[in-house]
Amino acid sequence: MTRIGVTGHMDLTEQTAELVTRALQERLGQVGGELVGVSCLARGADSLFADAVLRAGGALEVVLPSRDYRRAKVKADHAEQFDRLLDAASRVRVMDFEHASGEAYVAANETVLGSVHELVAVWDGVLPAKEGGTADVVTQARQRGLPVHIIWPQGATRG
C-alpha cells in the first residue's frame, strides 16, 4: 500500500486547477498497488488531490485541523466539494483543537507527514511566507527524508 499526502496552494486559477488535476491524475496513475491519499481537504490543491485519489480508485483519509473547521473555514463556494469528499473518506481524523488556527494547521500537517510514504506538493517554488504554509510543509517533508513530488505545470498561476 502506498500512502501519499498532499500540500499545496489554495488560490489556484481555474486554468491552473485544470492543469494541476491532469498532473495529479498522471502522478497517481504511476502508483502501483493500493493507494491511500491523505488530505486536509482545503480549497484548491488538497481537494483536487482528494478527487484525483478517488478517481484513481484509492482510499481517501482526511485530517481536519479543528472541530470547527467546516463551519469556520469552508466557504460556500467550496462547501459542496468539501462535503462530498468528506463523505467519501474511509477515515477522518480531527485534530484536538476547538478552533481553526495556525497551531491547528501545523498539527494537521504534522499528522499528514507522519502517516505517509510520499508527499505531493502543488507548489510554485516560492519560499516560506508563514509557518504551516506549503513551502514549510515541503521543507519539513524533506528534512524527514520523505520523497516530495512537486507539481507546478507549465503555465500555472495563482489567483
Is there a domain that residue 45 lies in? yes
pLDDT attached to residue 128 = 66
Q: Is residue 156 included in any domain, yes or no?
A: no
**H-run or E-run covering 7:** strand 2-8
In angstroms, rounded to a whole number, what is the distance separating the alpha carbons of residues 122 and 106? 18
Instruction: Name the region of 155 (left: φ>0; alpha: ψ -120 to 50; beta: rest).
Output: left
Is residue 157 one of the residues assigned to a domain?
no
Look up residue 25 and give its three cell numbers: 491524475
pLDDT at 133: 86
pLDDT tens-digit map of 26-36? 999 999 889 99
| Residue 159 pLDDT | 87
Any domain includes 158: no
Is there a domain that residue 159 lies in? no
Q: Is 104 domain-assigned?
A: yes
Instruction: List the CATH number of the domain containing 79.
Output: 3.40.50.450
Q: What total of structural domains would you count in the chain?
A: 1
pLDDT beneath 70: ranges in the chain: 128-130
How many angstroms separate the Cα of 88 from the Cα of each of 6, 20, 21, 79, 104?
17, 21, 18, 14, 23
Domain residues for the domain of 31 are 2-151
